[in-house]
Chains A and B, each alone.
Chain A
């Protein structure tokens, strides 16, 4: 939502011309997917949960079912639109939690230094070495199916993405003269941090967040595919693919391929956008 609004600001529009086509296409695709999920109740041609056994496994292009139907006759397009909600919201939650945790831990480590820094940094290194999906699976083993525990586990798993960047940036920026100057001028630690540091590392944070969002989306979709994520009747793209598995083996792959391609394109778009942001920032910092 905020993304869509930001794109309409005149300043952004002017900038857009200088972005590569792939970046523009990615941003556009993400806006479309977000809007489709947001406005699913208005836009979806069918109720996503209405089954019709007479009309099961219809191929794409069937009258009334643009992307066909699944093995119980539910409209695939409508389900993909509704599925976008959980598929995007859950990783968004992961990123939001990681940002809070990572920023707090990173700043704490950089500011406290010494012993606390060593423990936090080493801890983040260890967590970084563990694949997020494993943590999510174990979390789901503790609480049973559902998204809450995996989202929390993934937030922990992706905290180092944010925390390490924030820490090293804070250590670097902390050594710069202007921060020293602000301190001498009598601004408090927190005020200095908020005024100078966060705005300076914000672009890097955005790029890292995009990366974490892509990974979290894949992890959560994998979890749902494994039957450990969303609980029916709720559905995301992963659980749709899981339900389509037997249809695929019977030669009707569409109800699985459509959400599969949705995952794939979304992750590509997020990566392209994140990479572009990261690259632009790197170039700016070089000069």
Chain B
């Protein structure tokens, strides 16, 4: 138990360090932006020199990179991500208004990919034969399908061609929203489904061939109990690692899919902000992304020793 506490402490410290380094990199690189970001964004709106100076001060551009970063980080810790240059709104407000759509989209896609991917992996690994070959081929194609290609194919077939689903918009009300988000979620989930089906298959297959499974069979453990307790249970550790990476990649996937389906979410906000060079918004969303990845990875690291007791010992040793 003590080793587990040490493990947790180290992981959390490591995560904090990672956030610090990554956020510094995000802030620093955007400060390196050639030209004056304030002028780049507001050049057309003809601000007075006083106003421009006020803006520069507001965004800490009159300070050095280091003090500017510390200032920005200090505000960010108080949940103040600054004000958007192009929307003239608080970044926090902009993001939180869009978090619902993006969050639901990510959750929807994650559930689809997890249930179908791991289900496929289980059936193909345990059954083998023709089901295995079909699943392997389907996973190979799905893995290679970029979300925007999936998006235009789904749009062309199910939205425009058959008219079963709406092509754009997020809808209102829960059921309507789910209906609107179905095609985007499928587009996002396809590649993740492929990866999970493939990795899941490999992990389950590896466990199925272990001697302790054979030994359990020799003790008269069979059927679902054998698969659940001695195969799936053991494959969870490698799978959770992959699932963590996949959830993080879904967050970035929203940028593409929300743009493709005209959804007003965090991902499409990021793309708009990047193309308008609205750096407070870009910095804010990048920071959120960094936090999300680090949190997901840390959670995975913390869960692993619970799934495989040998990992905790490995950390201690």
Contacts and interface: CB of A to CB of B under 8 A. Distances in A.
A224 to B, nearest CB: 10
A253 B277 contact: no
Nearest to A242: B148
B70 to A, nearest CB: 20
Interface residues of A, number: 44
Interface string B18-50: 100110001001101110000000000000000
Nearest to A225: B148
A249 interface: yes
B256 A226 contact: yes
B255 A238 contact: no
Contacts of A145: 275
B284 to A, nearest CB: 12
A241 B152 contact: yes
A99 B161 CA distance: 44
A142 B28 CA distance: 10
Most A CB atoms within 10 A — which of B167, B273, B297?
Answer: B297
B167 to A, nearest CB: 6
A40 interface: no
B275 A137 contact: no
B249 A131 contact: yes
Contacts of A253: 152, 155-156, 160-161
B146 A248 contact: no
A271 B144 contact: yes
Contacts of A249: 155, 159-160, 167-168
A155 to B, nearest CB: 15
Contacts of B286: 134, 138
A244 interface: yes
B149 A264 contact: yes
Contacts of B18: 126
Q: Is the interface of B mostly helix, strand, loop or mixed?
A: helix
A144 to B, nearest CB: 7
A221 B146 contact: yes
B256 A141 contact: no
A268 B140 contact: yes
B312 interface: no
Interface in B181-211: none
Classify the interface of chain A: helix, strand, loop or mixed.
helix
Contact of A131 (B156, B252, B294): B252
B149 A142 contact: no
A137 B274 contact: yes
A77 interface: no
Interface stretch (A53-61, A192-200, A255-263): A255-263
A258 to B, nearest CB: 11
Nearest to B141: A268
B255 A129 contact: no
Contact of A271 (B22, B143, B149, B289): B143
Interface string B239-279: 00000010011011001100110000000001101110101
Contacts of B140: 268, 271-272, 275
A140 B274 contact: yes
B146 A226 contact: no
B153 interface: yes
B145 interface: yes
Given A129-B245, A241-B152, A257-B152, A142 B146 contact: no
Most central of B146, B270, B271, B290 by chain A CB within 10 Å: B146
Given A260-B149, A263-B149, A245 B260 contact: yes
A133 interface: yes
A134 B289 contact: yes
A93 interface: no
B255 to A, nearest CB: 7
Contact of A142 (B21, B30, B293, B294): B30
B147 interface: yes
Interface in A216-233: 218, 221-222, 225-228
Contacts of B249: 131
B141 A137 contact: no
14 contacts: A126-B18, A133-B252, A137-B270, A138-B29, A138-B282, A141-B282, A143-B34, A241-B152, A249-B159, A249-B168, A260-B152, A264-B144, A268-B141, A271-B140
